[in-house]
Amino acid sequence: MAEIRQTFFQECEEQLSEMELGLLAMDEGNADSETVNAVFRAVHSIKGGAGAFKLTELVQFAHSFETALDHVRSGKLTPTPEMMKIMLRAADVLSDLVEASRDGREINEANYAGIAADVKALTTVDGVEEVEEPIDFQPTVIDFGMPELAIEPAPTASDEHEYRINFAPRPELYANANETILIFRELNRLGAMQATCDASAVPALDEIDPNGAYFSWAVQLKSDVEIAAVREVFEFVDGEADLTIETDGQAEVSDADIAALLAQALGTSPPADEANASPAIAETISVEAEPEPVAATSEAVAEEPVAPVQAVESSKPDTKAAAIPTQTTIRVEFDRVDRLINLVGELVINQAMLSQRVIEANFAGSSSVVIGLEELEQLTREIQESVMAIRAQPVKPLFQRMSRMVREVADATGKEVKLKTEGEATEVDKTVVERLAEPLTHMIRNAVDHGIESPEVRLAAGKPAEGTVRLTAAHRSGRIVIELSDDGAGINRPKVRASAINKGLIPADMQLSDSDIDNLLFLPGFSTAATISSISGRGVGMDVVKRSIQALGGRISISSRPGLGSTFSMSLPLTLAVLDGMAVSVAGQTLVVPLTAIVETLKPKKSEVHGLGSDGRVMSIRDTFVPLIDVGTQLGFRETPTQPENSVALLVETGGGARNALLVDSIQDQRQVVIKSLEANYGTVAGIAAATILGDGRVALILDVDALVSKSFEETLVGELHYGTGG
Amino acid sequence: MTQTILTVDDSRTMRDMLKMALVEAGYNVLQAVDGVDGLDVLQTSAPPDVIVTDINMPKMDGFGLIEAVRKDSRYRKVPILVLTTESDAAKKMRAKEAGATGWIVKPFEPTKLIAAIRRVAA
């Protein structure tokens, strides 16, 4: 059972995601009937499963939600933007309830009472909630307000009842694969039974319809069970046979009669045949001596609720969905995949060591050992890529969560914002997806809270009242690029600059380009909001966002156009396990520089390097000057800067497109390295992203180029600041 | 002889629960994930003694499955029980019209499920 429970919650995840996707399509206004059906089914399934696990709150909420969706499905409700807002909020509540149920947390109904009422109100016509089917395991007392239905407490009858049952099956009974003999078998379980067949209706042989029903039966049953139990035996053949059950001299009222009466009382008409079948009883109904008449009645009511609307549901097989081939999948625990990835990592290192040994042993390039080794290398790489693919996940679930964030922040700030997503199918390592959630959440909050203007301001600026936040993902040259853009006001550069000066982050007279100003947002301790709002200002600044992205081996850049909006662009590695890097030597150490950061390598001439400020240096490359960063001194490998003419410069591009030159002693080679976390094994080191094991077994550090550059940039800024205040 | 039940439901949870209850009671269980799959399973296996099907399913819903099964002379006499979440009269009636034999109300007690199957299985 515990396993099924786990399956249930896994399935819930899938269904919630399906639901959200469908609702968003509906919100966009491009949902076909199958989309609506799929959303309905998702909620319906969640309710069904939740019922099995007795998750009452979940069932109740899902039930109202489902009812509303059913109305949309059947065309009784036409989705309006306001309605979709409620539906989307309801979807959020449903997700929360699923999550709370899964974690066994207590559910506080007050938290979502408002939305629950809104959802209920959707199916409320003129203030009267439509007759809803009572949920089976949540029996509610239904007051039908029918004074003429006087139910007297029954005198206690003797235990043994004698039932006389007249049963005349109609052809439909047999057509639906019911069998008289099976019904009798069930009756026989209840007590001593005797059946007499009336074959008088059988026509002449040549007139017999093989699918007809000609026999009727009179059954005598002696049993101590109540009449409800006897009726239950005939439950499935209700309406497919003429049936009367009498006991102790009284005819029992059939469900149909009660339905007819209820229908009359409620002013609706029952199906015609049932009404005709018992018009007399409908006039003068009385429920006779039965030990539990109330229970029997309400059960009958539950069985046959008066549903005036016989919703004609489309049973057309849906051709669209049928076209999608079902993919066979297996479920594997992540631990196992991670173990495999670790092993493959070791394999890569081992293969590199073996290559090194072979080189050291001076085998000829054409020898079978070298050729075999090359094949091994290729195979290793393929295995590695395949294993990485197992961990790859589409960013879709992440993006979906963001759409919820946008709704919540938009609601809280009174703005109208729509999230548009593209490239949800783009796949990236699971860990990257997971660790992106937090920085992305923060950026989305920022975009809605600070980026998008209020509807009035937007209208005044000639923009639509509803702002758009666009979230896209795409694969670009071996990395995943995620862009978040808004069509808001853009970065208020004078304000950003003033704020940075106020906070002492930059000297007042510092000359900054537009892009420099934009990048000030990433400085630690920076926050533009004059008053920190509860939405964005949660003690996390863009500097934290930047650091999280960098920790993933990614880069983040910003661009903004006043009045038109801002775009944050993040480029991240597809996997965190391997890296293509350039091995360089610095002060006798081997370091690895991620290849993606390197634009070109240069041999600087003495004449190209110029001093700048107190101890800064720039290098002239073609017709521009680029800051020169001495890796050796920056990382504290040596005190004095190295001579540029004896070194190699790596022109690197950091997030935002800024270029810098890293000065190293020499280049060793280019290789693929397996990333070993430094945080997990040692601690965080500024400017260092991770470590790796080289072919000869030594440990080499992998440079975090962005961090190294910004570290040097900050130090220079601080230097300038001191210089400025001192002068 | 062991009786075989074909369960058709798009929810893995429900399929698992049905299977658990049915296997416990000594039945053979065949599974399908929707109406189309259900018909496929019927094509490739001996006729089951009872079919238990959900109504709301993608591709082909329960009504579609029942109609298709009833049209096929081989399965015309196979009892079909539909799973309904509530005692939804409209749905039951619609299932009956399509040719359903009976119904099981979800969430079901295993004993109720077995009783319903016993009631229709020859």
DSSP assignment of A442-475, as one string? HHHHHIIIIISPPHHHHHHTTS-SSEEEEEEEEE
Cα–Cα distance, A529 to A531 (Å, whole number):
5
Amino acid at A391: R
Residues of A with Cβ-Cβ distance to B63 under 8 angstroms: 313, 315
> Residue A51: which of B63, B107, B118 has the nearest Cβ?
B107
> Residue B13: which of A8, A54, A307 has the nearest Cβ?
A8
Return the closest-CA partner of residue B83 out of B91, B71, B74.
B91
Residues of A with Cβ-Cβ distance to B93 under 8 angstroms: 239, 310
- Inform me whether the pLDDT recorded for A574 exceeds 70: yes
Exposure pattern of B4-29 as b/e (b: 16+ CB <10 Å)? bbbbbbbbbbbbbbbbebbeeeebbb
Residues of B with Cβ-Cβ distance to A311 under 8 angstroms: 90
Residues of B with Cβ-Cβ distance to A182 under 8 angstroms: 119-122
B121 in reach of chain A (CB within 8 A): yes
> What beta strand segments (E) does A266-410 contain?
392-394
- How many alpha carbons fall within 13 Å on the CB side of residue A407? 21
pLDDT at A287: 42
> Residue A7: which of B13, B90, B119 has the nearest Cβ?
B13
In chain B, % of residues over pLDDT 90: 4
A234 contacts A200 by C-beta, under 8 angstroms: no
B41 in reach of chain A (CB within 8 A): no
pLDDT at A583: 92
Reported as a single tens digit per residue, the pLDDT across A507-531 is 888 788 888 888 888 877 776 444 4
Chain A (127-146) residues lying within 8 Å, Cβ to Cβ, of chain B = 133-137
pLDDT category of residue A656 using cuts at 50, 70 and 90:
low
Higher-scoring residue by pLDDT: A52, A324: A52
pLDDT at A256: 54
Q: Give the residues across from A162 on adjacent strands.
A: A222
- Inform me whether the pLDDT recorded for A533 exceeds 60: no
By CB atoms closer than 10 A (0-12, 13-18, 19+), residue B62 is buried
Please indicate whether, in this complex, the C-beta atoms of B99 and A311 are within 8 angstroms of each other: no
Task: Quote the distance between the C-alpha of residue B79 and its chain's center.
Answer: 8
Please indicate whether, in this complex, the C-beta atoms of A303 and B59 are within 8 angstroms of each other: no
- How many alpha carbons fall within 13 Å on the CB side of residue A487? 18
Please indicate whether, in this complex, the C-beta atoms of A182 and B121 are within 8 angstroms of each other: yes
Reported as a single tens digit per residue, the pLDDT across A445-497 is 888 888 888 888 899 988 898 899 999 998 876 678 999 999 988 888 888 88
Helix ranges (DSSP H) in chain B: 12-24, 35-44, 62-71, 89-98, 110-120
Q: Give the residues across from A192 on adjacent strands.
A: A222
Range from A77-86, A322-331, A381-390, A445-454 carrying the lowest mean pLDDT: A322-331
Cα–Cα distance, A293 to A81 (Å, whole number):
48
- Inform me whether the pLDDT recorded for A156 exceeds 70: no
Of A171-175, A257-261, A566-570, highest mean pLDDT? A566-570
Chain A (299-328) residues lying within 8 Å, Cβ to Cβ, of chain B = 302-305, 307, 309-311, 313, 315-318, 321-322, 326
Residues of B with Cβ-Cβ distance to A179 under 8 angstroms: 120, 122
Torsion, Cα A556 A560 A565 A569, to 10 degrees, reads -20
By CB atoms closer than 10 A (0-12, 13-18, 19+), residue A103 is exposed
Please indicate whether, in this complex, the C-beta atoms of A177 and B89 are within 8 angstroms of each other: no
Cα–Cα distance, A411 to A403 (Å, whole number):
12
Please indicate whether, in this complex, the C-beta atoms of B119 and A307 are within 8 angstroms of each other: no
The residues, ordered by sequence, that sit 6+ positions from A6 with a Cβ below 8 Å of its Cβ are: none
pLDDT at A319: 41
Task: Quote the distance between the C-alpha of residue A709 and its chain's center.
Answer: 36
Mean pLDDT over each residue of chain A, to the nearest integer: 76
By CB atoms closer than 10 A (0-12, 13-18, 19+), residue A673 is buried
pLDDT category of residue A250 using cuts at 50, 70 and 90:
low
**Could you give the 3-state DSSP secondary structure of residue A598?**
strand
pLDDT at A374: 87
- Inform me whether the pLDDT recorded for A150 exceeds 90: no
Cα–Cα distance, A602 to A647 (Å, whole number):
9
- Inform me whether the pLDDT recorded for A298 exceeds 70: no
Please indicate whether, in this complex, the C-beta atoms of B85 and A318 are within 8 angstroms of each other: no
Pairing of strands B80-84, B102-105: parallel
A443 contacts A545 by C-beta, under 8 angstroms: yes
Please indicate whether, in this complex, the C-beta atoms of A11 and B11 are within 8 angstroms of each other: yes
pLDDT category of residue A585 using cuts at 50, 70 and 90:
very high
A67 in reach of chain B (CB within 8 A): no
Q: How many CB pairs under 8 A join A and B?
A: 140
Tokens describing residue A605: 């001439």
Cβ neighbours around A677 below 10 Å, total:
11
A105 contacts A280 by C-beta, under 8 angstroms: no
- Inform me whether the pLDDT recorded for A352 exceeds 60: yes
Higher-scoring residue by pLDDT: A551, A393: A393
pLDDT at A468: 92
pLDDT at A593: 92
Cis peptide before B107 (omega within 30 of 0): yes
Tokens describing residue B81: 């029980």
B19 in reach of chain A (CB within 8 A): no
> Residue B119: which of A7, A236, A315 has the nearest Cβ?
A236
Range from A106-120, A137-151, A186-200, A538-552 carrying the lowest mean pLDDT: A137-151
pLDDT at A592: 93
The residues, ordered by sequence, that sit 6+ positions from A189 with a Cβ below 8 Å of its Cβ are: none
How many helices (DSSP H) and strands (DSSP E) are in chain A?
24, 25
DSSP assignment of A31-53, as one string? --HHHHHHHHHHHHHHHHHHHHT
Range from A295-309, A536-550, A643-657 carrying the lowest mean pLDDT: A295-309
Degrees (nearest 5) of the Cα angle A362, A368, A374?
Answer: 85
Cβ neighbours around A642 below 10 Å, total:
18
Cα–Cα distance, A444 to A454 (Å, whole number):
16
Chain B (42-71) residues lying within 8 Å, Cβ to Cβ, of chain A = 56-61, 63-64, 67, 70
A509 in reach of chain B (CB within 8 A): no
Reported as a single tens digit per residue, the pLDDT across B43-102 is 888 888 899 998 888 888 888 888 888 888 888 888 899 888 766 677 778 888 888 888
User: What is the ipTM score, two decimals?
Assistant: 0.80
- Inform me whether the pLDDT recorded for A340 exceeds 70: yes
Reported as a single tens digit per residue, the pLDDT across A670-694 is 887 888 877 777 877 888 888 888 8
Mean pLDDT over each residue of chain B, to the nearest integer: 84
pLDDT at A249: 53
Amino acid at A377: E
pLDDT category of residue A258 using cuts at 50, 70 and 90:
low
* CA distance, residue B60 to nearest chain A CA (Å): 4
DSSP letter assigned to residue A211: T
pLDDT at A536: 47
Cα–Cα distance, A131 to A32 (Å, whole number):
28
pLDDT at A327: 57
Chain A (362-421) residues lying within 8 Å, Cβ to Cβ, of chain B = none
- Inform me whether the pLDDT recorded for A549 exceeds 70: yes
- Inform me whether the pLDDT recorded for A588 exceeds 50: yes
Cα–Cα distance, A193 to A164 (Å, whole number):
10
Range from A296-310, A472-486, A647-661 carrying the lowest mean pLDDT: A296-310
> Of all helices (H) and strands (E), which one includes residue A422?
strand A417-422
